[in-house]
Amino acid sequence: MRLDIDTGLVAEAQQCPSPNCDDRETGNGPEVVIIHCISLPPGEYGGDQIERFFQNQLSGNEHPYFASMAHLTVSSHFLIKRSGALIQFVPTHMRAWHAGDSVCLGRPKVNDFSIGIELEGLDTDGNGFTNKQYSMLNELLSALRSAYPQIPTHHLFAHSDIAPGRKPDPGPHFDWNRVDM
């Protein structure tokens, strides 16, 4: 897998552009990677609801859970489906809107200097994440390290690390020992 540093795109990823992004502030590049998890509706996997959510195409009328969040404008750089499929929403040189109100390395505005990776899953799902997801995550992290050597191996964080008390993901069923960062 290779990330083109000029375009910020991974050729092996399905491209699903999100409007929920903007330019990083001058001089800011990715310095950390943030791991998230999401399923829409919670606990249901395999549909296209996440993709449509990150593209502002999710209707609040489709499911009762969506009514409270369909209006939100959020994104992530990448999503790894339970099948291991990789979807890219935002080029890595741009700012995705994934971290929200958070602090990392003692700094606010984490979206300014991070790459967000969502895993299709739920922080409370005892089944955890799939082998294919861990495999794809490790391939993606390797490509990110190659393209951005300024991201040290220890700059991999959970959403819960940067927004404690507000966000629990990826949760206790995410196996950090299976991640090669």
Written as six digits, the tokens of 136 are 């794809």
Reported in sequence order, the residue ranges of 51-146 that DSSP labels E, i.e. its strands, are 78-80, 86-88, 94-96, 114-120
Written as six digits, the tokens of 181 are 């960062």
Q: Is 135 left (phi over 0), alpha (psi -120 to 50) or beta?
A: alpha
Is residue 146 within 8 A of residue 139, CB to CB? The reply is no
- For the question of residue 62 being annotated catalytic, the response is no
Catalytic residue among 31, 51, 118, 120: 118
Query: How far, CA to CA in Å, does 134 sit from each of 24, 111, 117?
Result: 28, 23, 12
- The catalytic residues are 118
